[in-house]
Amino acid sequence: MNPQMPLTLTIGLLSLSTLTAMAAAPGPAAARTPDSTRATAGSAANAPGSAANAPGSATTAAREITAPAAPRLALPEPTGRRPVGAASLHLVDSSRRDPWVPASASRELMVSLWYPAKKPAGPRARYVTPEESALILKGVPGVEGTPPDTVSKTRTHARVDAPPLPSEKGLPLVVMSPGFSFPRATLTSLGEDLASRGYLVAAVEHTYESVGTTFPDGRTTTCVACEGPMTKEKGEKVAGIRVADLSFVLDRLTADGRWSRLIDQSKIAMVGHSMGGNSAAQVMLADGRVKAGVNLDGTFLPTVGELTRPFLMIGTESGHSPGGKDTSWDESWRRLGGPKQWLTVAGTDHSSFTDYAVLREQLGISPTVIKGTRAVEITRAYVAAFLDRRLRHQPVRELHYTEVKSWK
């Protein structure tokens, strides 16, 4: 771990780069300009008409012989009874400039929605764009030669714009926030699963805090916030920005006629991974609409204040057992005055609570002790059980996984 970045253990860094080892420091910032994804495509060496790429050339022939087949990536199927629909929103907060790129007139956010559908109608939702895929894979050890658009071809299960299942009382809403540098797509398997169980789920992309974000007009922004070391002050800035982002998304979802009619506004929860898990707690302190929260392996920064609503903490056994490396969990646990649960999962690492748990194995990257499908199963099961009990107020059966330890 980079000694200049003591917070990277549970805040997260450049996307799939966290998969082969716990997060490494971000590389040089030169590749993180908004137009960086177009920079290499137009170079002379890679031009489609160059001599090196001419049909029949030695270079082309060698590539045809040696190019590896692209891995076939797929997410686990949702476990609920309902088919899942998906939609994408481009939201603009004109009341504030972007805090990372002040030259931008407004703060723009992309949001992925998953919801229970009447039937599985329509095409499968795209996981990420080819540009986002290339940025995710860039610099990841062990995937050299993998086509840069490989991650964009990940098989999902939600259907674009499938008709929503009507709900007389409205659906509980779960807003999700990804880890620092992680795209919102990394929470897709959890989002699809919750939707199949009857939740409306919204995953928020925090622009310039993700390795890559593509907007409807074709722009792909990169992780401006990743430049420089992660300090306590920077972490608190990120948390504050995310609180504003998430409350804004709540405002828009509960006011938009298409989606507000589907939402039971008395049942709203916040779930996040890494920095997103920290943000879940911070939003609950700032926004009374959020009735329950979940932190997936995230450092609390700042330490949580007095919080009396239900909260679940679930993380790695190595980093988040009581008295472990991340002391913010011990400190925050004492300040959680409502129903609370502290779980650790043996054999996991920081990315095990995201889609990367399964995608890294499919990409040929060495897995952790626990299989990716098992890690996803555990995360889904405990998050859903917590939300069913604390948000829906439903009885739930006790879960028994040998890898999971509950701390009191």
Give the tens place of pLDDT for each residue, 295-352. Answer: 999 999 888 889 999 999 999 999 999 998 899 999 999 999 999 999 999 999 999 9
Other residues' Cβ atoms within 10 Å of the Cβ of residue 123: 10
pLDDT digits (tens, 9 = 90+) for 94-110: 999 999 999 998 999 99
CA distance 120 to 83: 6
* Count of domains observed in the chain: 1
Which H or E run contains 295? strand 292-296
**Token digits of residue 215:** 């907007």
Question: Is there a domain that residue 68 lies in?
Answer: no
Q: Which of 134, 179, 146, 154 is nearest to 351 (CA)?
A: 179
Question: Is there a domain that residue 301 lies in?
Answer: yes
| Contact present, 37 and 135 (Cβ < 8 Å) | yes
**Which CATH number covers residue 92?**
3.40.50.1820
Q: Is 53 helix (H, G, I), strand (E, B) or coil?
A: helix
* Dihedral Cα 202, 206, 207, 208, nearest 10 deg: -150
Question: Is there a domain that residue 189 lies in?
Answer: yes
Question: Is there a domain that residue 293 lies in?
Answer: yes
**Token digits of residue 270:** 């916040």
Question: Is there a domain that residue 145 lies in?
Answer: yes
Mean pLDDT score of the chain: 86
- The domain of 101 spans 8-26+81-407
Question: φ, ψ for residue 110 (rounded to 5)?
Answer: -105, 140
Least confident residue range of 65-69, 226-230, 263-267, 367-371: 65-69
Question: Is there a domain that residue 252 lies in?
Answer: yes
pLDDT digits (tens, 9 = 90+) for 63-97: 334 445 677 999 999 999 999 999 999 999 999 99
CA distance 138 to 152: 14
Q: Which of 156, 212, 143 is nearest to 361 (CA)?
A: 143
In whole angstroms, how far apart are CA 71 and each of 68, 106, 147, 305? 9, 38, 9, 45
Residue 291 CA, distance from chain mean position: 21
